[in-house]
Structure 1
Amino acid sequence: MVLQIKKATDIKATKGTYLIYGPPGMGKTSSLKYLPGKTLVLDVDRTSKVLKGEKNIDIAEVDNINTWEHWERLIVDLFENYKGKYNNIAVDNISELERCLLSDLGSKGKNMGVPSQGNYQQMQFRLVNSLRYMKNLDANIIMTAWEFTDLYTTADGQQFNRSYPQLNGKILNNVSGLCDMVGKLAINKDGERGFILAPTNSYFAKNQLDDRKHCLQSELILEGDAVETTKTVSVTTNK
C-alpha cells in the first residue's frame, strides 16, 4: 500500500521553519539569542560576534569564497552527523548565501566573474533543495534575510511600497512557501523589537503555526503550551 494515512487529530507538534528579515543592523542575528534550547548558527555573513558569550549557541562558519562545494558538503554533514542534536539550526544569512553561491559559480565561469543565466538556475535549485533537506533534521530551521522594498500593485490597481525578504524573485515564493512563518523585524513606538507575522499590502509575512499577528523578538519560537498563554505585543512601524 502506497498511501500512509493518519488522522489529522493524531498530528503532534513538529519543528517549524522560520524566515525572518529586516534591514542590516536591525537585530536579526541578535534574535537568535532568544531561541529555546540548543542552537547551531551557520554563519554566512560573519555577524555572529553579536552572539558572544551565549552558552546555548554553537557557531559554524560557512565558506563564503568556495561556497558551492562547501555548502553541499555541509548539508550532507548535518544530515549524517547532526540530525536531532540541536533544537534549532539557523542560517545567517540566506540573502548573503545566495550571493556567495552565485559569486563562486561566476568565478569558475567565462564571464570574468559574472554569473551566467545557468548559474542563477543552479543557485535557485540548490537553495530550495537545501531547505527541503534541512526540514528533515528534526530541528527548528531559522533563516535570516536582508530586506528589500519595491512597488507592489494590487489586482485593483492600487500601488504600495512593499517589504520582502531579499531573495531571488524566482524562488521567493518557493522558499517562503516551505516556511511555516515569515516575519518582518520591526521596532514599535516603545522601542521594543519584534516581528510582524500577518501579511499586509506593505509587508510580506505569514504565520501558519498559531494565530499571532505580532510577537516580541524573544517570542518567535514558543515552548510547550506557551502559545496559548504568552504575552503578545503589537509591533508596528510608522511606515
Structure 2
Amino acid sequence: MQPIEHAAKMSKTKNWRIILYGKPGVGKTSAVKYLPGKTLVLDLDDSSKVLAGLPDVDVQPFDRSKPDEEWREFLTNLPARLKGYDNLVVDNVSAFEKDWFVEMGRHSKNGIGNELQDYSRWTNYFTRVMTTVYMDANLNVLTTAWEDTRDITSDTGQSFSQYAPLIRNSVRDGLLGLADVIGRVVVNSKTNNRGVILAGSDAIFAKNRLDGRTACAIEDVFKFGGASNVPTASVPKQASGASKTKAGSGK
C-alpha cells in the first residue's frame, strides 16, 4: 500500500485525466497543440496528420486491424515507454471500440458477426486497458471520443436526450468516473470558434473538478484556474435539449 498523503500538500492538477468528446472534425485532436510540455499521441483513429509540424509531439501509430495485439504491446512496460513525456493522448476510444468488435467478428464462427460473449468480454477488457493507463501513467492523460446521444430520465420524470461520449453503456460510466474533466467540444456557427463545455446539464454530460470554469475556448482548456466565464464568441449557447414528461416512469 502506498504511503498516506497530506491533503494540504496535494495538487489538483498534477497528472490530470481529461476526456474531450464531440463530432468528428470539431478539433479534438488539434487541441493537442495547446498542451504544455512534451506529448505522446497514441493514434487510434489515424487522425494525427493534423499535428504535422508540432515540435513537442510524438505519434505512436496504431494498426487498427489488430487492436488487441497493439494494446498489449503498448501497455508492456508502460512507465518506461512514457519516460520523458509530460502528456499522453489516447485518440480516440470510440474508434478503438469499433475496431475491437470488428476484430472479434473476424474470429467468430461465421467470420463476420459478433458473438454474445464478445460484449461481456469488451466490458472487462476495456475497463482493464483504461484503468491500466489511468493508474500506471505518471503523467497527464487526455482521452478523446466521438459524441453520441443517450436517453436519460430526470428526478422529475422528464425524459431528455443527452450528449455523451460515444462508447458502450457498459463501460462509459466507469471511464467517465475516472476523469477529472469531461468536456464537449463545440463550434460556434456564427464565428467558427471552438469552445469546450465543462458544466453538465440534462442536455450535456460534462464535469470539471479541477477549477470553477463552466466553459472555455478550446485553446484555454488546459489553463487551469482560469475565469469561470468566457466570451460568447467562443462557446455557443446550448439548447436545453428536447424533453417530454414521463411522470412516474423510469428507464
Q: Could you state the TM-score of these two structures normalised by the residue count of structure 1?
A: 0.89
Of residues 225, 228, 243, the one that matches 1:227 is 225
Range that drifts further, 51-60 or 186-195:
186-195
The separation in 2 between residues aligned to 1:118 and 1:42, in whole angstroms, is: 28
2:76 is paired with a residue whose SS is helix
Aligned pairs (5 A) from 1:68-83: 68-79=68-79, 81-83=80-82
Which residue in 1 is equivalent to 2:200?
199
The two structures, once aligned, show a CA RMSD in angstroms of 2.1
> Relative to 1, partners in 2 of residues 1:99 and 1:122: Cα closer, same or farther, differing over 3 Å?
same
> Relative to 1, partners in 2 of residues 1:3 and 1:151: Cα closer, same or farther, differing over 3 Å?
closer
The separation in 1 between residues aligned to 2:122 and 2:74, in whole angstroms, is: 16
Which residue in 2 is equivalent to 1:12?
11
Give structure 1 stretches of 5+ with no counterpart.
none
The separation in 2 between residues aligned to 1:193 and 1:102, in whole angstroms, is: 32
Which residue in 2 is equivalent to 1:40?
40
Q: What's the offset of the Cα at 1:96?
A: 0.5
The separation in 1 between residues aligned to 2:9 and 2:3, in whole angstroms, is: 13
Q: What's the offset of the Cα at 1:44?
A: 1.2
Which residue in 1 is equivalent to 2:145?
145
Which residue in 2 is equivalent to 1:175?
175
The separation in 2 between residues aligned to 1:3 and 1:128, in whole angstroms, is: 22
Q: What's the offset of the Cα at 1:177?
A: 0.2
Give structure 2 stretches of 5+ with no counterpart.
240-251
Which residue in 2 is equivalent to 1:216?
217
Q: What's the offset of the Cα at 1:7?
A: 2.3
The separation in 2 between residues aligned to 1:34 and 1:3, in whole angstroms, is: 33
1:227 is paired with a residue whose SS is coil
Identity within the alignment, % = 32
- Deviations along 1:98-124, one digit per CA (max 9) or x if unpaired, are 111121122112143222222122222
The separation in 1 between residues aligned to 2:85 and 2:197, in whole angstroms, is: 26
Paired AA for residue 164 in structure 2: Y
- Deviations along 1:13-71, one digit per CA (max 9) or x if unpaired, are 42111111001111111111111111111111111111111111111111100111221
- Number of matched pairs: 234
1:186 is paired with a residue whose SS is strand
> Relative to 1, partners in 2 of residues 1:232 and 1:86: Cα closer, same or farther, differing over 3 Å?
farther
1:184 is paired with a residue whose SS is strand
Which residue in 2 is equivalent to 1:158?
158
The separation in 2 between residues aligned to 1:111 and 1:211, in whole angstroms, is: 52
Residues 1:94 and 2:100 aligned together:
no
